[in-house]
Amino acid sequence: MPKQLFQGFWPVVARLILRNRILILFAISAVTVLLGLQWKNMRFSNTEANILPDDHEATIKYSAFVDLFGEEDNAIVMAVRDSLLFTPENFNRWNKLSKQLAAFPEVSMVVSTDNLQQLVKDNQKQEFVLEPLIEGTIQNQAEIDSLKALLFEKLPFYENLLFNKETQTIRTILYLDKDILNTNVRNDFILNDLQSIVENFEEETGLDVRVSGMPYIRTWNAKTIIDEIGKFILAALLVTSIIFFFFFRSFRATLISMCVVIIGVMWAFGFLGLFKYEITILTALIPPLIIVIGIPNCIFLINKYQQEVKKHGNQALSLQRVISKIGNATLMTNVTTASGFATFIILDSDLLKEFGIVASINIICIFILSLLIIPIIYSFMPLPKTKHLKHLNKKWVDIFVGWMERMVRNNRIAVYIVSIIALVLSIIGIYQIEITGSRVEDLPKNTHFFKDIRFFEEEFDGIMPVEIVVDTERKKGVMKPATLRRMDDLSNEITDIPELSPPVSVVNLVKYSKQAFYNGIPKYYQLPTSQESSFIMDVARKSSENSNLLQSFVDSTGQIARMTTFMRDVKTDRMEEIEEDLLKSIDKIFPSERFNVYMTGKALLFLKGTKYLVKNLLLSLALAIGLISLFMAYLFRSFRMIVISLVPNLLPLVITAGLMGFLGVPIKPSTILVFSIAFGISVDDTIHFLAKYRQELTANRWQIKKSVYAALRETGISMFYTSIVLFFGFSVFIISDFGGTVALGALVSATLMFAMLANLILLPSLLLSLEKSIANKKVFKKPQIDILPKEEEATK
């Protein structure tokens, strides 16, 4: 029943399209306007996408931490490493910069040399009080020298927090208001106000200010993504239009195709606005993807139209046959491509789910647009001139087809040997692949904010926070001497790990309290002894109650404390080793029956998220292969043909994976995407070839050789055209500043080129070699759906 339905369906569709041309154009215009109105709902991501689902253990722990202490990544850091800072004029200007920043409503607090306070003992009140380190402005160089001696020699509490003692780098930390942390207000402040103030400071002093911190990185990263969208769209349009014109040598055909894909891009933005999805580094790829995937649709349709015109010169019949003959095949190929993207929808990651939804919907939309617009526009135009049809008889095209036919006819053994060698080498390469990545690895390397990340790693051991939460399971348990000693032991373990900065916690404050008790002598910056503990801790508790000194380190009940360290940019495998070492130290120092201690923070979320994403993307790839196999089983109704068709599509994936191993490209979220995308696209060529081959079998009374060569000659050129467009179309992503996008573009392009060769040479070779086992109607049954209508034979 489906077969008869589809046989009669496409001629009806053709008549409906051609008889309702004006109405359809009006409908397309109306939908475009309506989706254009949704652009106002588009927004660029201000948050860092949480890859893990809400019920994941790591997400639950982080949420619990945020409920207790708030977001831990709301700090922006600024630093200067220059001896010229230590002059009265420049140092006063640095302090003025802090005051300017503190005046902004977006900033909740600034910690700098301007408002730095030292802890001193008040003998009368028997408590510790905070006194400003600097009062007024610095008057002369002697005051600067005195301040430097005090800061670098007598205040170890602030070491690695506000200064690097060895390089004498000075740092200022401004904490953003947490209410604006994930809003456009943050972006406006960082891109405009902060940028302007820093630039003014640099102009006045000649000093180079380094700026970083997660809010700063996220803002500039988002701006780079926004800038790249326009660059990608223009590059994709330029590259595909040049290639299209080179193939067809027709301005008219090129402009019509560009019109189709531009409307497709407008719809893509419209759907993002309609669904209120944020534009992320992934969804930003969808508009250029639509251009790259849409142009092959245009190639198949226009090429078929010109072939029909060349045959009989009847425009109405040509347009009807374009729709009725190519429509079904193009639908099938677009469905398989959309299926490759749609498999992301089943994943728990919102980032990938949104990407899969919008990409798959728009792939079907670009098919509908090309099927409607191209025949309708051509129906209003005169027949193509002879010069527009010359490309159908190009010598180089005949040479390419002849080469493919000779390879398949005379060199099948060599084809198999090369394929097996490539397979073996690729398997060796696969064993060398690492599953890794880092949080900043894919960020644009040539940007100022990436260079500043490296600066802060060098000076202050990183900017990615790792939090250790110590729950003593009893009120006021944190300030007990035994708990503090355990926390200090853990601090020493953390300090011994080179990729982590010395941690900041209530332990540092208690040590500073003892130093203050002994009149600020640096050698007393240590935990109180058992004899000192009672008095010093009583004074410290009283002081903290009066000044809220503990609120950043301990919860309101005194039961739970945080220890904050910062991690350098390391690969995920090293992050796992660090996590394992810390968990061992925690288990050794804090007995589980008395303490509940866990690790969290954005650095740990990234680690868990990367592993989770890679696992789910492999599942997505397996699902895409299974789904498309079922789809082809429904189309061709032959198990052997399913196996034969999968070989030339899986081999390129294996070869690409092997190349990644040999070239040292790790498996990470940005590269694992390659396989699902490339598989969904490359299988299109297989469907086109097998559909034509199945048709030729019927026409040639099941003569395999004759059918293979006929299918190769008929479909080889279109497959070559579309593969070239896809290769260069995906190559535009190489111009990206993001390492992950560059890898995605290069790897997809390479995989699709391998897939083209496999489909044009290996697939026909397999069909010929397995002639005896498939050359009968029982093995290769009639398809459930005729992708290419039977009437094709009558017009050949």
Domain for residue 549, yes or no?
no
Return all residues near 548 (Cβ < 8 A) that are at least 6 apart. none
Domain for residue 281, yes or no?
yes
Q: Residue holding tokens 């202490």?
A: 69
Q: What's the mean pLDDT in 401-429?
A: 88
501 phi and psi, to 5 degrees? Answer: -80, 155
What integer pLDDT is reported at residue 388 of this predicted model? Answer: 60
Q: What's the mean pLDDT in 593-609?
A: 86
- Residue 606 scores a pLDDT above 50: yes
- Residue 446 scores a pLDDT above 90: no
What integer pLDDT is reported at residue 796 of this predicted model? Answer: 36
3-state class of 80 per DSSP?
strand
Domain for residue 467, yes or no?
no
What integer pLDDT is reported at residue 739 of this predicted model? Answer: 79
How does the average pLDDT of the chain come out, rounded? 82
7 phi and psi, to 5 degrees? Answer: -65, -35
User: In terms of DSSP bridges, do strands 169-176 and 163-164 run parallel, antiparallel, or are they unpaired?
Assistant: antiparallel
Alpha-carbon distances of 116 from 112, 135, 767, rounded to whole Å: 6, 10, 79
From 30-39, 325-334, 376-385, the region with the lowest mean pLDDT = 325-334
Domain for residue 730, yes or no?
yes
What integer pLDDT is reported at residue 315 of this predicted model? Answer: 83
- Residue 73 scores a pLDDT above 80: no
Domain for residue 645, yes or no?
yes
What integer pLDDT is reported at residue 376 of this predicted model? Answer: 92
What integer pLDDT is reported at residue 206 of this predicted model? Answer: 92
- Residue 779 scores a pLDDT above 60: no
**Residue-wise pLDDT tens digits, 116-174:** 888 777 777 667 777 788 887 888 898 898 888 888 888 888 888 888 888 999 999 89
Domain for residue 196, yes or no?
no
- Residue 390 scores a pLDDT above 70: no
Range of the domain at 733: 2-48+219-431+607-795
- Residue 386 scores a pLDDT above 80: no
Q: What's the mean pLDDT in 317-329?
A: 81
- Residue 5 scores a pLDDT above 50: no
**Residue-wise pLDDT tens digits, 487-545:** 999 999 999 998 888 898 888 888 888 888 888 888 888 888 877 776 666 655 554 54
Helices 286-312 & 669-699 angle (0-180, nearest 10) = 20
Q: What's the mean pLDDT in 746-762?
A: 88
Domain for residue 133, yes or no?
no
Distance CA 161, CA 141 (A): 24
Looking up residue 762, the CATH number of its domain turns out to be 1.20.1640.10
Which uninterrupted H or E stretch holds 107?
Answer: strand 107-111
Which uninterrupted H or E stretch holds 4?
Answer: helix 2-19
547 pLDDT band, cuts 50/70/90, is very low
Domain for residue 30, yes or no?
yes
From 128-132, 225-229, 380-384, the region with the lowest mean pLDDT = 128-132
- Residue 302: CA count within 13 A, CB half-sphere: 33
Q: What's the mean pLDDT in 467-477?
A: 90
Other CB atoms within 10 Å distance of the CB of residue 596: 13
Number of domains in the chain: 1
Q: What's the mean pLDDT in 548-553?
A: 67
